[in-house]
Structure 1
Amino acid sequence: MRFFNTEGPIRADRHYSLPPLSRWNLDEILELIDQEKYFLLHAPRQTGKTTCLLALGEYLNRAERYRAVYANLEIAQTAREDVARGMRAICGAIGAAARRDLGEERLYTWTEEVWPAHGPEGVLNALLERWCLNSPQPLVLLLDEVDALVGDTLISLLRQVRAGYTQRPLAFPQTIILCGVRDLRDYRIHASSERDPITGGSAFNIKAKSLRLGDFTAAEARTLLLQHTAETGQVFTSEALDRVWALTQGQPWLVNALAYRACFELPEGRDRTRPITLALIDQAKEALILERVTHLDQLAHKLQEPRVRRVIEPMLAGTLPGEASEDDRQYLVDLGLLRRDGAGGLVVANPIYREVLPRALASGPQDSLPRIAPTWLNADGTLNPSALLETFLAFWRQHGAPLLRSAPYHEIAPHLVLMAFLHRVINGGGTLEREYAIGMGRMDLCLRYGAVTLGMELKVWRDGAPDPLAEGLEQLDGYLAGLGLDSGWLVIFDRRADQPPMAERTASSTTLSPHGRSIEVVRA
């Protein structure tokens, strides 16, 4: 029985899958190869790059016009600045791949023969030259995980490839495809932290094109999911199919992970006589986020990087990432954390990532929270919004100031502490959804617990700015209208200097919004 795959390359006999080469413009790639072009393929991690490269290699070898070899260079990452170690690892990886894909055994011997004369800075160039001169067909080399290489090892690889470029196709590969997460078009190669960066163009200016492997389209995601129905008879409701697309926006790993969790791990989903419903997809989503599975944990770990923080922190605060460079912004797009919407603006790539980022940032404050009695629950276990407000005010007066210091992003520390508190409130019995209003100076939260839906808007009052009350009430009106609510909270965090202690200035009052909604205004 086939299943949804989330680990490693796709195998069509074992995994539900789309034809790998259908996700690229195969005619364009074949034309580039026929024209002896060297080019780049890039995409975020776990989107199917390796699967597509392997399929391309098999396609080329079946046609017998070229000899194609796929090699993963990640093994050379540990060499870092040690070019000798790095080039031995790279030549070894290519030699192993040639033996696997073509039955070519001579590359190991050739490496040892050319090393004494050429050394680490020329061994790859000499090896590829000898290989091509002894090959019955032109060689196409598919090199994966190139951007895993570090510093001088990466520079040496690129320069040796460039040095042999003019000898193609007789004495150097007809085509070399470099594949990784980042686009070398604007890649910055640092030999070490003390040296100036070397631009990708100067190290690899023979590149003809940069191609990007995209996410699934809505139709592709649906086609993948319905393969399960065709093989098992278990249907997805139309709402469930729509929910998978809405949550993932076609990110391949997320599509497969949601479907695998819903169909193969949740008890209700394992019963093939029962449909996969919207509720099961939502349960799968929450489980993936709470367990911090590897894919999501790797993304969350990126939040510690300064260049990621320069973009994400102002986005979460609702302001513009003005201090972030174009390279910073493109880095997050290359990682798949962000995407550019139809208007060209930056947005978080999908709703699941939108949940993961602030949850990861709020985990420190959440771990630091004191024990809080659930006084916000009625006797029947339902949520009491008025009691919740009183509990939060008491919590903030007593614990707000020290907890702010535990938040990793200073500019949004109040937001993170409030979210940590709300996660303690729902405790698996509800959900907390977030909307980022970039450039609008706010974050919107929607807490759902049983039959209760509570909409909140978070604003920050900074030095030199007017009281955000009026603007917040107008903005909250629009958010509540979208949720179909006639009441909500406006939380204003006062971050101005020389304010009274937090315990003294934390208070709430009730007012009406411009459209007559009842708003609890919290000043904290």
Structure 2
Amino acid sequence: MARRFNTAGPCRPDWHYMIPAERRLPEAPGLVEQRACFVVHAPRQTGKTTALRALAEQLTASGRWAALHFSCEAGEAAGDDYGAAERILLSSIRTRAELTLPPALHPPDFPAAPEGNRVEVALRAWARACPRPLALFFDEIDALRDQSLLSVLRQLRAGFPIAPAIFPPRWRSAACATCASTRRREGEKDPTPKGLEQLDGYLAQLGLDEGVLVLFDRRAAAGDVEARTRLDEARTPSGRRVALLRA
């Protein structure tokens, strides 16, 4: 099959024309090595899922990480029912892990836990059983709504400040990839301020002081992507440091 251009979903290099995924998020491998939690924010259909999926595959193939990319989108239907959202999220994690990871890296049976604590308990159990450190990429996490989103983010946040006291040494890295729409159309203003404001809110919920913002310019006059791609530093409205990648 001849390769083609694709903006309708994740890209595959053998099917689609695409920029090498590792060039889209050049700082991400270093953040994983630092055991950091970070946010990727960019318009829809600009390559976030493709880049994060490729990064997870590369990390796992290195033999050093059990890296998993999965979508939280199915949890949107749960609304404020955070118990249902937890069950959907953990089911998505298990399904994706069994499809993409070697059997030795699959999660064990998740222990029973009360609502509002299931994600933390499940990931703790997986970290203890897995022979490699975990690197988790939560795609479409902002599809979760209200109390469901707060519950999941707070469980993730709770593990980081006191790891490895709650999470064992192998629980060392996670990444949350969000998909907020700040698409720049013809004639519209630079979406950077809006993106920084939204990212500020996500980082605040995660208790983080820095993050990564990726902005893709889809205007016809934007020019060649390689020529316009650059990495800058910016600040959110509350002063958080952001690595700003423009492409």
Partner residue, 1:72: 71
* Per-residue Cα deviation, 1:259-291 (whole angstroms, up to 9, x for no partner): xxxxxxxxxxxxxxxxxxxxxxxxxxxxxxxxx
Partner residue, 2:190: none
Partner residue, 2:229: none
Structure 1 41/173 Cα, relative in aligned 2: closer, same or farther at 3 Å?
Answer: farther
Instruction: Give the drift of 1:171.
Output: 5.0
Instruction: Give the drift of 1:16.
Output: 1.2
- The answer to whether residue 17 in structure 2 is matched with residue 16 in structure 1 is yes
Contact 2:75 2:88 in 1 (8 A): yes
Distance 2:140 2:119 in 1: 17
Query: Can you give the 5+ residue segments of structure 2 that lack an aligned partner in the other structure?
Result: 181-194, 226-236, 239-247
Q: Secondary structure at the match of 1:71?
A: strand
1:187 pairs with 178, 184, 201, which one? 201
* Per-residue Cα deviation, 1:68-100 (whole angstroms, up to 9, x for no partner): 001100000010100111100011111111111
Query: Can you give the 5+ residue segments of structure 1 that lack an aligned partner in the other structure?
Result: 189-199, 218-243, 253-325, 328-524
Distance 1:161 1:130 in 2: 14
Q: Scaled by the length of structure 1, what TM-score is found? A: 0.37
What percent identity do the matched residue pairs reach? 30
Structure 1 66/208 Cα, relative in aligned 2: closer, same or farther at 3 Å?
Answer: farther
Q: Secondary structure at the match of 1:38?
A: coil
Partner residue, 1:45: 44
Distance 2:169 2:124 in 1: 5
Instruction: Give the drift of 1:31.
Output: 2.1
Contact 1:21 1:55 in 2 (8 A): yes
Name the aligned partner's letter for residue 78 of structure 1: A
Contact 2:106 2:130 in 1 (8 A): no
Number of aligned positions between the proteins? 206
Q: Secondary structure at the match of 1:70?
A: strand
Partner residue, 1:167: 163
Name the aligned partner's letter for residue 50 of structure 2: T
Distance 1:17 1:77 in 2: 29
Instruction: Give the drift of 1:3.
Output: 1.1
Partner residue, 1:2: 3
Instruction: Give the drift of 1:62.
Output: 1.3
Matches within 5 A, 1:344-363: none
Distance 1:150 1:13 in 2: 35
Contact 1:40 1:209 in 2 (8 A): no
Distance 1:150 1:136 in 2: 33
Structure with max Cα Rg:
1
Higher helix share: 1
Partner residue, 2:245: none
Q: Secondary structure at the match of 1:84?
A: helix
Distance 1:2 1:39 in 2: 32
Structure 1 208/36 Cα, relative in aligned 2: closer, same or farther at 3 Å?
Answer: farther
Name the aligned partner's letter for residue 200 of structure 2: D
Q: Secondary structure at the match of 2:176?
A: strand
Q: Scaled by the length of structure 2, what TM-score is found? A: 0.75
Distance 1:172 1:154 in 2: 25
Q: Secondary structure at the match of 1:13?
A: coil
Contact 1:129 1:171 in 2 (8 A): no
* Per-residue Cα deviation, 1:205-240 (whole angstroms, up to 9, x for no partner): 0x35321223269xxxxxxxxxxxxxxxxxxxxxxx
Contact 1:130 1:171 in 2 (8 A): no
Distance 1:35 1:156 in 2: 25
Contact 1:83 1:153 in 2 (8 A): yes
* Per-residue Cα deviation, 1:440-498 (whole angstroms, up to 9, x for no partner): xxxxxxxxxxxxxxxxxxxxxxxxxxxxxxxxxxxxxxxxxxxxxxxxxxxxxxxxxxx
Structure 1 155/144 Cα, relative in aligned 2: closer, same or farther at 3 Å?
Answer: same
Distance 2:46 2:224 in 1: 7
Instruction: Give the drift of 1:42.
Output: 0.9
Contact 2:43 2:216 in 1 (8 A): no
Distance 1:216 1:57 in 2: 25
Distance 2:144 2:172 in 1: 23
Partner residue, 1:204: 206
| Aligned residues: CA RMSD | 2.6
